[in-house]
A and B are shown apart, each in its own frame.
Chain A
């Protein structure tokens, strides 16, 4: 431990004052806690929570269509407009939620065997290597990864080249919902692999041996022992894949087709030039409510301990 004794000179008055101050703080821990916690919390409450509250409140306001000014008059008209089946908004919300669900399922299927291999089959060195190989793409710029797929899926890109090499015809995947499904699954996959791996690693070997001792074959052990114990990991991963897809608008913008707007695209469209912040806020409430329900359910299922 690095306590440098020579750096503790005895004597001068300022030092005595400092010692008294330290002792006083030591006797009153609440004072220290208050001092430490108030700057970050004040900043947070003021900027972020304040902003969320303003956002939520403004969803009950409207914009004067003539002057473009906010009308501070309480109304549910924004929500009524979203729920109106004559408008495109319900369809957009449905598409967003549907693709988020599809991406979550795809990532769970891709991640589970990989996580299982990392946690229970691979040796220490291979495991460490795989861990870094999964973690690094997560950090290699989100935009660049979307761009990579846009290039690969393009008409004269690598996918069609590979298909032609196999004697198959060209596919026009770029700028469709399929492209969004592939890109989202790709971009968020590491978020699923890591918690699934962590959950699988934590299962004691003795549980699996006990299951075998009681006569369970491989598949039965998997279904009755491994899967239930790994489920919180899968749910923890799904929080990320689902929430991140739900709140995205860059992927639809860059690889989606002409009719593949997400909730985020609509929200973004109503900010800026033809601003209708109350409507955007009302539409943004949908993912918040969905995530609120999702997180509460996930917490019940023990996913937070798996993080």
Chain B
């Protein structure tokens, strides 16, 4: 604890104000889901659950939601496989060009979203691929791999390689070593990385606008309606649901990683994820 009492009180006030700045808009937009009027004014004139049932029966919103879940699930599966393979290779072996692999995987997130989107779009045109939900998945997978990679790599760096040697010395083959030694060590890191990858894919707009054809993911559905100012009461409910749904996996992921302190270490995992 440092600083004089007056400095400390000033800092505490500043902290409260900044946290309020972060949360008040979220609370306000969540309240609009219960707005009885179709006009978005403040203060909210009256309260209703009506829009929840309207949204539930909205076919566009439902199919957008279903597509987002489908894309998110397939993306997460691809990211889990490719991300952990790369993490294993980097953690266990020394070879020429090892540093550049990390850099390479980080690129889709370090470069502005329009670049990734634009590059993928021109690649699809160049390769003669027509835009479909698979092109969305390919786009999402390019930037989700690094999330899993970071989580798994951080865990592997904390696990001693001698555990594997011990397992082999005791007569286990490669599969048994994986099943009984590596997997128990890794499972929470994989689940956390997978949840973050899913949340990232579920929320992505910019790259998706470049890689989606006629298909609308949930963010595209929201964007289209916001842009044209249509169906705002439905969008309010979708916004409410999305806030709740994206917050849950992140809280879960954080709980899983908390014991290892990986999220606390500069929040690198989460930050690089975005």
* Chain A, range 107-147, C-beta contacts under 8 Å to B: 110-111, 113-114, 116-118, 120-122, 130-145, 147
Q: Are A247 and B23 interface neighbours, CB within 8 A?
A: no
Q: Is the CB of B180 within 8 A of A281?
A: no
Q: Given A48-B108, A161-B42, verify A145-B26 contact (CB < 8 Å).
A: yes
Q: Is B264 an interface residue (CB 8 A)?
A: yes
Neighbour of B123 across the interface among A43, A50, A137, CB < 8 A: A50
Over the window 73-109 of chain B, the binary record of Cβ atoms lying under 8 Å from chain A Cβ atoms (1 yes, 0 no) is 0000000011101101110110100000100110110
* Majority secondary structure, B binding face: helix
Contact A40 B86, beta carbon cutoff 8 Å: yes
* Residues in A whose Cβ lies below 8 Å from that of B251: 132, 136
In contact, B115 and A137 (Cβ under 8 angstroms) = no
Complex contact B14–A117 (CB within 8 A): yes
- B122 contact from A54, A121, A136, A151, Cβ within 8 A: A54
Cβ B180 vs Cβ A137 within 8 A: no
Q: A58-B122, A147-B239, A151-B28 are in contact. Are A139 and B115 (CB under 8 A)?
A: no
In the assembled complex, the Cα of A157 lies from the Cα of B226 at a distance in Å of 16
Q: How far is the CA of A140 from the CA of B23 in the complex (A)?
A: 10
Cβ of B43 to closest chain A Cβ, rounded Å = 7
The reply on B268 being an interface residue by CB < 8 A is yes
Residue B110, interface by CB 8 Å: yes
Chain A stretch 162-178: residues in CB contact (< 8 A) with chain B: none
Task: Check A101 for interface membership: any CB of B closer than 8 A.
Answer: no
Chain A binding surface, main DSSP class: helix
User: Which of B22, B116, B138 has most chain A Cβ within 10 Å?
Assistant: B22
Bound-state Cα–Cα, A52 to B239, Å: 34
Contact with B along A197-217 (1 / 0, CB 8 A): 010000001001000000000
Q: Report A120 CB to chain B, min CB distance, Å.
A: 5
Say whether, besides A134-B22, A143-B222, A191 and B95 are in contact (CB < 8 Å): no
A90 at the interface (CB under 8 A from B): no
CB < 8 Å neighbour of B119 from A32, A51, A190: A51
* Minimum Cβ distance to chain B for residue A202 (Å): 9
Q: How many residues of A contact B (CB 8 A)?
A: 109
Asked whether B151 is an interface residue with its Cβ less than 8 Å from the other chain, the reply is: no
B172→A33 contact, CB < 8 A: no
What is the CA–CA distance of A52 and B250 in the complex, to the nearest angstrom? 31
Q: Contact mask B221-264 → A, CB, 8 Å, 1/0?
A: 01100110000000100010011001100110010000000011
- CB proximity of A77 to chain B, nearest CB, Å: 18
> Do the beta carbons of A133 and B107 come within 8 Å of each other?
no
Q: Which of A40, A157, A190, A307 contacts B82 (CB 8 A)?
A: A40
Please name all residues of chain B whose beta carbon is closer than 8 Å to the beta carbon of A230 when the two chains form the complex.
Answer: none
Is B271 touching A147 in the complex (CB atoms < 8 A)? no
A39 touches B25 (CB 8 A): no
**Does the CB pair A284–B43 fall under 8 Å?**
no
Distance between A26 CB and nearest chain B CB, rounded to angstroms: 6
Are the C-beta atoms of B138 and A47 separated by less than 8 Å? yes
User: Is there contact, CB below 8 Å, between B115 and A133?
Assistant: no
B57 within 8 A of A: no
| Given A47-B120, A263-B114, A281-B122: A143 in contact with B226 (beta carbons within 8 A) | yes
A156 at interface (Cβ–Cβ under 8 A)?
yes
Interface string of A282-294 (1 = CB under 8 A from B): 0010011001000
Whether the Cβ atoms of A306 and B266 lie closer than 8 Å is: yes
A117-B14, A218-B7 as given contacts; A254 in contact with B226, CB under 8 Å: yes
Q: Which of A265-301 contact B (CB under 8 A)?
A: 267-268, 271, 277, 280-281, 284, 287-288, 291, 295
Which chain B residues lie closer than 8 Å to A154 at the CB level? 40
9-residue interface stretch from B48-56, B59-67, B201-209: B201-209
Instruction: Please determine whether B246 and A139 come into contact, CB atoms closer than 8 angstroms.
Output: yes
Q: Shortest Cβ distance from A209 into chain B, in angstroms?
A: 9
Decide if A307 touches B271 in the complex (CB within 8 Å).
yes
Q: In the complex, which residues 159-216 of chain B have their Cβ closer than 8 Å to any Cβ of chain A?
A: 163, 167-168, 170-177, 179-181, 184, 199, 203, 205-206, 209-210
B→A interface (CB under 8 Å): 1-4, 7-8, 10-12, 14-15, 18-19, 21-23, 25-26, 28-29, 32, 39-43, 81-83, 85-86, 88-90, 92-93, 95, 101, 104-105, 107-108, 110-116, 118-123, 125-126, 138, 142, 145, 163, 167-168, 170-177, 179-181, 184, 199, 203, 205-206, 209-210, 219, 222-223, 226-227, 235, 239, 242-243, 246-247, 250-251, 254, 263-268, 270-272, 274
- Beyond A121-B8, A141-B242, 11 additional contacts (C-beta under 8 Å) are A44-B104, A48-B142, A54-B119, A114-B15, A117-B14, A136-B247, A138-B270, A142-B203, A142-B219, A152-B42, A277-B125
- List 11 A-B residue pairs with CB atoms under 8 Å apart, sorted by A's residue number: A36-B85, A55-B123, A117-B14, A121-B3, A121-B12, A133-B23, A139-B203, A145-B29, A156-B39, A268-B114, A284-B115
Q: Which 9 A-B pairs give the minimum distances between C-beta atoms?
A: A247-B112, A51-B123, A198-B266, A148-B29, A22-B174, A51-B119, A40-B82, A37-B89, A33-B93
